[in-house]
A and B are shown apart, each in its own frame.
Chain A
């Protein structure tokens, strides 16, 4: 079974530029999560989708971050414009069901450096 795919793996941009990350979850997984992991910290949830609807985006900085999950499969996370403090690893995870009783499977992450 293929795991969660993410691209690109690495991205370096200058502040005020825009960037987009892509995630392809495990086939059949209805729930998709985007986490931000700043160096030395644990991952923090940015947004959660159930199929193509948003379940939780309370921690998403909506003035600069946006995300979509068209057709309930792939998802894209965008930052525009980027700030220095956005430097982090962006993790995508998926699970069969939106419940703590179901395992979340994580992708390898996209490491973003904003200069």
Chain B
């Protein structure tokens, strides 16, 4: 079945450092890809998404490009802030015949940014 694999955390960075969180997926169809973020004490929020190959999703300085050839959707940010400390989840949703909106999540990556 479909699955998502994320790099293990925690990831600890200093403020203004460059961030990459790796995400790869396995899917039989043509999924939409998402990054969700969970700030401490809050619910999951959509950070960005991409719905087809070579699309780039972006929001709040974060970017991710849908790479079909490498089945990847890596999250990047050029300069992280302390306020970016959170758990980040990569997810997919099948757009094929079974397109129900169901999300399949990776295990999450904890990011800690130190001043």
Which residues does A use to contact B, with CB under 8 Å?
Answer: 3-4, 31, 33, 35, 40-45, 48, 55-56, 91, 93, 95, 97-104, 106-109
Contacts and interface: CB of A to CB of B under 8 A. Distances in A.
Contacts, number: 71
B102 interface: yes
Given A42-B106, A43-B105, A98 B46 contact: no
A109 B93 CA distance: 21
Nearest to A55: B100
Interface stretch (B37-45, B64-72, B75-83): B37-45
Interface of B: 4, 31-32, 36, 42-46, 49, 51, 89, 91-95, 99-108
Given A104-B46, A108-B42, A45 B103 contact: yes
Given A42-B107, A55-B100, A95-B101, A106 B45 contact: yes
A104 B107 contact: no
A100 B44 contact: no
30 contacts: A31-B101, A33-B101, A33-B102, A33-B103, A35-B103, A40-B107, A40-B108, A41-B107, A42-B89, A42-B91, A42-B106, A42-B108, A45-B103, A45-B104, A48-B100, A56-B102, A91-B43, A95-B101, A99-B95, A99-B99, A100-B32, A100-B99, A101-B32, A101-B51, A104-B103, A106-B36, A106-B45, A107-B43, A108-B42, A109-B43
B6 to A, nearest CB: 8
A108 B40 CA distance: 11
